Amino acid sequence: MGKPTGFLEYQRVNNPASDPKERIRSFNEFHPALDPQQRRQQGARCMNCGVPFCQSAMKLGGSVSGCPLHNLIPEWNDEIFNGNWDHALARLLKTNNFPEFTGRVCPALCEAACTCGMNGDPITVRENELAIIESGYERAVIRPRPPAVRTDKRVAVIGSGPAGLAVADQLNRRGHQVTVYEKEDRPGGLLMYGIPNMKLDKTIVERRIRLMEAEGVRFITNTEAGVDVSAEELQKSYDAIVLCVGAGKPRDLALPGRDAEGVYFAVDYLKCATKALLDHIPAAINAKGKRVVVVGGGDTGNDCVGTALRQGCKSLIQLEMMPRPPLERRADNPWPQWPRVLKTDYGQQEAAAVFGKDPRIFETTVTELIKDEKGRLKGIKTVRLQGEPQKDGRMKMVPLPGSEKQIGCDLLLIAAGFLGPEEKIPSAFCLKTDPRSNIAADPAYCAGKKIFAAGDCRRGQSMVVWAIAEGRAAAKEVDRFLMGYTNMI
Ligand X SMILES: Cc1cc2nc3c(=O)[nH]c(=O)nc-3n(C[C@H](O)[C@H](O)[C@H](O)COP(=O)(O)OP(=O)(O)OC[C@H]3O[C@@H](n4cnc5c(N)ncnc54)[C@H](O)[C@@H]3O)c2cc1C
> Among 246, 297, 379, 448, which residue sits at the site for ligand X (rule: CB under 6 A)?
246
Single residue of 29, 121, 134, 184 touching ligand X by CB under 6 A: 184
Q: Does 194 bind ligand X (CB under 6 A)?
A: yes
- Out of 164, 336, 347, 426, point to the residue binding ligand X (CB under 6 A): 164
Shortest spacing between CB 90 and ligand X, in angstroms: 24
129 binding ligand SF4? (CB under 6 A): yes
- Pick one of ligand SF4, ligand X, none as the site partner of residue 67 (Cβ within 5 to 8 A by kind): ligand SF4
Q: What are phi and psi of 397, to 5 degrees?
A: -85, 120
CB nearer to ligand X: give 45 or 476: 476
Nearest-approach distance from CB 343 to ligand SF4, in angstroms: 15
CB of 467 to ligand SF4, least distance (A): 11
What's the rounded Cα separation, in Å, for the pair 402 and 404? 6
Alpha-carbon distances, residue 138 vs 130, 133, 245, 252, 452 (angstroms):
12, 9, 32, 44, 36
Backbone angles phi, psi at 382, to 5 degrees: -125, 165
CB 473 within 8 A of CB 170: no
Which C-beta is closer to ligand X: that of 226 or that of 448? 226
**H helix or E strand, kind and range, residue 99:** helix 99-105
Instruction: Round to whole Å and give the CA distance between 162 and 467.
Output: 6
Say whether 356 sits in a helix, a strand or coil: coil
Three-class DSSP category at 274: helix
Strands (E), 300-442: 315-319, 360-361, 364-371, 377-389, 395-399, 405-408, 411-414
Length of the chain counted residue by residue: 489
Under the binding rule (CB under 6 A), the answer on residue 292 touching ligand SF4 is no
Residue 326: how many CB atoms within 10 A of its CB?
12
Residue 170's H or E segment, with its range, is helix 162-174
Q: Which is nearer to ligand SF4, 129 or 169 (CB)?
A: 129
319 binds, among ligand X, ligand SF4, none (CB under 5 to 8 A by kind): none
Check: CB of residue 451 under 8 Å from CB of residue 241.
yes
Q: Beta strands 395-399 and 377-389: pairing type?
A: antiparallel
Binding mask 68-107 for ligand SF4 (x = CB under 6 A): -x-x-x----------------------x-----x---x-
Residue of 190, 319, 465, 478 that binds ligand SF4 (CB under 6 A) = 465
Q: How far is the CB of 330 from ligand SF4 (least distance, A)?
A: 23
* Interaction of residue 166 with ligand SF4, rule CB under 6 A: no
Q: How far is the CB of 149 from ligand X (least distance, A)?
A: 28
Taking the complex as a whole, the smallest distance from the CB of residue 201 to ligand SF4 amounts, in Å, to 18
Q: How far is the CB of 272 from ligand X (least distance, A)?
A: 12
Tell whether residue 109 is a contact of ligand SF4 (CB under 6 A). yes
Beta-carbon contacts of 15 under 8 Å, excluding residues fewer than 6 positions away, are: 31, 32, 33, 34, 124, 127
Interaction site with ligand X (CB under 6 A) = 105-107, 158-164, 181-184, 189-190, 194-195, 199, 224-226, 244-246, 248, 267, 270, 299-300, 303, 425, 455-456, 462-465, 467
In the complex, the residues that contact ligand SF4 under the rule CB under 6 A are 67, 69, 71, 73, 96, 102, 106, 108-110, 125-126, 129, 465
